Structure 1
Amino acid sequence: MQTTLFNPLNPFTIIHLILGKRLLVLVILCSHFSCKGQPENKSYKYLKHYYTKRATKYLIKDKQVKQAFSISDSGIVLYTTPEKGHKKEVEYYLPWQHLRAFQERAAARPSEAFKYYKQKRLPQLTAGLMRPAKFIINGDPAHPLKGLRVALDPGHIAGNLAMAKKERKFIDLTLASGKRLSFFESELAWYTCRVLANLLEQKGARVILTRKRFDLMALDSTYQQVFENYRQQQAKKGIKVKRSQKWSVFFKKFRKADFNARVEKINNFKPHLTMIVHYNVDGANAPWNKPTPHNNCMAFVAGSFMKNELSATEHRFNFLRLLLTKDIESSVSFSKTILQQIVTQLNVPILPKQNNQPFINRACMGTKATGVYARNLSMARKVYGTLCFIEPLYQDNKQEIRALSNKDYELKGKKIPTRVVEVAKAYYKGIVAYLKK
């Protein structure tokens, strides 16, 4: 006998009894429906309690967020952000009777679920619609990862130190000895992903990088090229854009476009796993003009919505998607495994619960895994499925700063730090360990 037990993330229970060649499907209605086929308030009150508790656990960082949605005995409502002096309006209503249909769509085909959301439509149950199963390592010793799809997103866009300073993602300081050390995160992250991609591809996996070169945006051009094209387009409209406006234009317009291009590439690829790769600094060491003795790793998953962070339709849809699917839980599990390998392979400790990093209390919510935090980062929110937004170490740590400045490893004619290779290998081991769970 095969039994599908009650699961609040799939709360309609079906018991399949297989007797010889005959299949008897017994739908247990007593706990969910009355004799006349109408929902019972008792079961829906349970759903109200369950999802209210879940929202509190992962999603609600600030009390103001509660104004953007409601969970009642009848279902879930998302509200538009009202203009000043106007009342909020219902943007989407999901009655409990349609929970499973929307839930399955959000997990298996989230892009379709978003279309339903924007059109204020309710999906119907579809036979065979289910989330892709977790990848299982196959028995091919040469290519055990054949069939695995992994998306790698190397953070930031700078192609040189000067640009990294505009992006504010760099290290450039002089030690007490007088030695100057400098590098920038965009390059470190990209080469980490390139080495990791090589390791995965050698074992049969399919891998995409959202940036084709370390000096390119996800828009497949350098920012210099993007900006010059923008200037020319504006000039045709009679609008003069000065070169001195280059960075104000980036932060106002093209950083968001770059994020969206990354998300589109990843979600179209439909990866089993996504790694959003960054390098951190000690938040308590600002303005980062001297080394720090501290060093920690940490990871982020979606969640922890703050004040004014449900102001757009996309934000509210992803809030609902994260509430109804297991993407947060699977991401926490994946991230925990990656952190364990960082500790083992790189000797970098996990950020403890009691710490001096100012943004943790301000913007994050803890999870059951130490060092893994829910945080409403754009990439973590917009990317569908299981992901790890990883920060493996502090670039300004007194040992790491020397290691990351030492370009002593050759990769296809390019000198990169051995430390970057070590980080990539730790990620590879973490991915394999997670797939073996």
Structure 2
Amino acid sequence: MASFKITGDQRLKGEIIPQGAKNEALQILCAVMLTPEVVTIHNIPDIRDVNQLIHLLGDLGVKIKRLTPSSIQFQADDIHLDYLETEEYRVKAAALRGSVMLLGPMLARFRKGRIPRPGGDKIGRRKMDTHFLGFEKLGATFSYDREDGGFYKVDADNLKGTFMLLDEASVTGTANILMAAVMAEGETTIYNAACEPYLQQLAKMLNRMGAKITGIASNLLRIEGVTALKGTEHTILPDMIEIGSFIGLAAMTQSEITIKDCRIAELGIIPDVFKRLGIQMEFRNDDIFIPAQEHYRIENYLDGSTLSVADAPWPGFTPDLLSIVLVTAIQAQGTVLIHQKMFESRLFFVDKLIEMGAQIILCDPHRATVIGHNRETQLRGIRMTSPDIRAGVALLIAAMSAKGVSIIDNIEQIDRGYQYIDTRLNAIGAEIIRL
């Protein structure tokens, strides 16, 4: 287990480039299974979750040729379906939650899919029902063998298009069903579909491969099935979660940072939510400039009541940035209620922030109230453990703003989602040592 040793109270200054989007990469990489032709993907982040999926694709028989550190050529023209039944596949796929999105492409092209119960962050229940209900509506049969180590199996002699109303706007569920439906017979309509930018990117890529998808960027997708897909080239968006993390980091550490090449039009309400915390920013073409701020003040609602920041399906605020908003509010002037609706264990890391000196009331598993210090009190360095990707970076931001030295253990969780985060932050003035 590796750790970060952070010397806090350092002001950063400089430019930082966000990595390719992790959540998009996991979908796009699974989509290479849909065609025997060459698919080239650019701006792939060099992070643990993505690298594990690339290795898993290689084990399945996908030919992989790295063109540059962030560009890879894939060709799935000789897939080893027998590998799906091996213990090695069970172990590797179970360690990666994103592996579940292999089911849709495998079902579309090979009419069978196998996946063990996937891993990932321990942030509460993350049910899989949406995926399998969608597959069943397309004509697949689903089975789950608890005695077989928790193995999900889907099979189909033929997939047929249909109308479906998803029980929730699940991003991975929509992606999985969409990839299965593009090669189903007839027309499929998916209502209450997720419409995040990453889902839009997947749909546009599939259309370039020969799919016929309309309604992109809405919650109503229509797919006219085709018999085969061809190769394509695709560039992954910059990671909006990393961009939001850098905005919060700049405010907490009173740093002057320019975040480069942000694709601002794809960020939705993310910049506006941080502005409501009082954080100043300037859009300079496609860059976001965050000036050094001594103070930032949380807005109240028009009637004077306390601001509440809650997660919601796109175009609402992404749940992956609630941890960052929470930690950023610690040094703001004012009070904010953080309402994490989607996962019941994601706020439990606040006990470490309280130990560092933050004024936070954990109301219940879903809600926390932050009373900002307004720089009157500085956090103090402590030793702590990263429970998941986003909480880990929130703790890193807190440690970088704190007085003294902090140790964060289990940084493998941070490495799952943030590429060389210590190296990139040290380049603009941080003091982070990897132990």
TM range (shorter): 0.3 to 0.5
Report which of the two structures shows the higher radius of gyration computed on alpha carbons: 1
Greater strand fraction, Structure 1 or Structure 2: 2
Scaled by the length of structure 2, what TM-score is found? 0.32
Structure number with greater CO (CA < 8 Å, separation at least 6) is 2
